[in-house]
A = this chain, B = another copy of it.
């Protein structure tokens, strides 16, 4: 059983101009994130994972591991609408010795019952049938439309105490975060935003899996390590200020634009529909505001350069 990384980036997925995954750039970017101390939650919301086919995700995972990424730092997103897809993705992650998986509930049908969601997770776990599996449940109701309720967590923990080990709470609702931490001792709760990292740690949470860990990983990792030191508040405020710059724009496109600019790799800005690249005005504003903050991504350019 691997220890799960405490700070993870939902790794951006680079595309070629024809919209196919850019495997080389993906591995280079993973390598940079790893070098900054971040764990790799590949195939999360910010990875445009739900715009990828199952086959594309399996191929990206293979490339990362063949490219030398340490599987114990990988926590792929493997939730899907269809049980068969979630099983395939989850099994591949376990077989590749990933630290764990981040699992969305099936997200097409809305207002489904707790019994139905329990049945869905249980079916995936039973079919994968691997004792080494560690699942973080993925609570992001504002996007998935399907919440992970405390009652569901309780039932899954009771039935699969060693498998359902934690949750990413992307609701932004600290009351929910707090309730989950207090009610389920030992349950590993991750903030869905680095702006809530310090607050989540103070409540007894574990860390964060945050969009902006794609661009600001070292600072987030550092706060996770030093959160009990005197300057933690100041560090948290600086992180939140940086994050606000991205939140004012379409988040995924803005993160990709920042990587493209600071990695001197224009094609990294490509997104898949239904997302759209930043327009010129947005990209210009982003670059200017980041410059004001003295923002940098040291070492990135070298990792994104052609071999």
Contacts and interface: CB of A to CB of B under 8 A. Distances in A.
Given A108-B50, A109-B143, A143-B110, A83 B119 contact: no
A71 interface: no
A273 interface: yes
A288 interface: no
A56 interface: yes
Given A107-B108, A110-B142, A273 B51 contact: no
Interface string A186-228: 0000000000000000000000000000000000000000000
Nearest to A119: B273
A179 interface: no
Interface in A244-282: 272-276
B143 A108 contact: yes
Contacts of A276: 113, 115-116, 119
Copies of this chain in its oligomeric complex: 2
A53 to B, nearest CB: 4
A52 interface: yes
Nearest to A50: B108
A272 B85 CA distance: 14
A84 interface: yes
Given A105-B274, A106-B273, A143-B108, A50 B82 contact: yes
A284 interface: no
A145 interface: yes
A112 B51 CA distance: 13
A112 B271 CA distance: 13
A84 B56 contact: yes
9 contacts: A50-B81, A51-B106, A56-B82, A56-B84, A108-B144, A109-B275, A113-B276, A117-B273, A123-B273
